[in-house]
């Protein structure tokens, strides 16, 4: 995500590596009130087929964000689970130092978990 406004569509895979859906990631380069751009503001929501439920059933989804350093993943952020078939998570602010140690080229991994499992 390089430009001021960027988006990317990614596949959602289950533990078996099977495609179960798509996720749209949108980003916008912003500055905080002090003119700094060393923060990340993120918000997530999901829409689902209400007949199947979110991720295929009755779930309490939450998200974790990891930074990748070679084969090692380190969790740097996690939100609270929301009981909803179409959850809307509140905006979170993460410093780039926490997120990627300031290295904006460091790969990140977003994982979605079910509190029930």
Domains identified in the chain and CATH numbers: 5-114 (2.60.40)
Residues 6+ apart with CB under 8 A from 86: 45, 46, 47, 48, 50, 54
Q: Model pTM?
A: 0.68
Taking residues 4-22, report their average pLDDT: 76
Residue 59 tokens read as 């779930």
Taking residues 25-34, report their average pLDDT: 66
pLDDT of residue 75: 95
pLDDT in tens, 60-85: 778 899 999 888 999 999 988 877 76
pLDDT of residue 67: 92
- Alpha-carbon distance of 32 to 37, in angstroms, equals 6
- Band (pLDDT 50/70/90 cuts) for residue 88 is confident
């Amino acid at each position: 995500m390089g430009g001021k406004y960027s988006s990317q569509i990614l596949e959602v895979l289950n533990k078996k590596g099977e495609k179960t859906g798509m996720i749209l990631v949108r980003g916008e380069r912003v500055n905080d009130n002090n003119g700094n751009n060393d923060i990340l503001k993120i918000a997530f929501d999901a829409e689902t087929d209400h007949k199947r439920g979110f991720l295929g059933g009755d779930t309490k989804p939450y998200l974790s964000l990891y930074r990748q350093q070679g084969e090692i993943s380190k969790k740097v952020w996690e939100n609270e689970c929301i009981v909803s078939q179409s959850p809307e998570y509140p905006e979170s602010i993460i410093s780039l130092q926490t997120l990627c140690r300031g290295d904006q080229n460091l790969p990140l991994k977003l994982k979605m978990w079910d509190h029930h499992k």
